[in-house]
Amino acid sequence: MPEGHTVHRTAKHFSKHFLGQTVELTSPQGRFTDARLVSGQKLVTSEAFGKQLYLGFEAATVRIHLGIYGKWRFRSFEETPPDPIGQVRARFISTDQVADVVGPTSCEVLDQLEVIAKQARLGPDPLRIDPGDHELERFLTKVASSKVVIGQLLMDQSVIAGVGNVYRAELLFRAGLNPYTPGQLVPSKVAAEMWFDAVALMKIGVRTGIMLTRDDYLKGRPAIVDRYFVYKREGLTCRNCLNPISIEVLNSRKLYWCSSCQKA
């Protein structure tokens, strides 16, 4: 499942290539029947909120959540848009760009009240501009008031929006935090440091298009096996000690961590 940085990159792509233009919206697959409600209107806003993309047209907003299997395909053209490939749920066509989304979990047209309601259910997003520390405070409050373990809280989109399995594992390792620590027992200083770490790492993801969590590799484009401390390294020696990396299942998702380094 794409994590938040990927959705923010998609929002930037729409801002660059579709914003302010009249966009034709169709559903080659035929399942997105509400496409007609905004087709032929100008795209006026493009923003990401966690793992959800909101494309605001003149009359309504299209919300897209890729989920586990969804993906985007972007192509440019000169005269005629290229034919869709596969089961395209929604197709966005501007003067010289086409964007196809395949297999999303959600693809729907919302009015403004529905948009507000959807976004209200989401936790703070480390990648959204916050003029103060409001988003940080929301995150700290949600963590401090919960008996749920921090490894599960970081995957809860109502606690922090945009973090997925990769960032979850890496943030916990970098914080030296045991994933089974109840939220209310996580020191506020540690939770705050994890929030700012998420902000920094996810911004790198937006800029580069790849997830990098090891400081020694932030300036390069390493192979995926070298990008992480613990993610998908089960059974291998921890990069900081001789302990083998563990893999367990927490709330139906794979959890990677070092039981030696993450004792706090």
User: Which residues are catalytic, by number?
Assistant: 2-3, 51, 253
Three-state DSSP at 161 gives: coil
Q: What is the rounded radius of gyration, in angstroms, for the C-alpha atoms of the chain?
A: 20
**How far apart, in whole angstroms, are the C-alpha atoms of residue 99 and residue 89?**
11
Query: Would you tell me how many other CB atoms lie within 10 Å of the CB of residue 212?
Result: 21
**How far apart, in whole angstroms, are the C-alpha atoms of residue 95 and residue 22?**
8
Three-state DSSP at 207 gives: helix
| Nearest one of 3, 2, 12, 96 to 55, comparing CA atoms | 12
User: Are 155 and 163 spatial neighbours (Cβ–Cβ below 8 Å)?
Assistant: yes
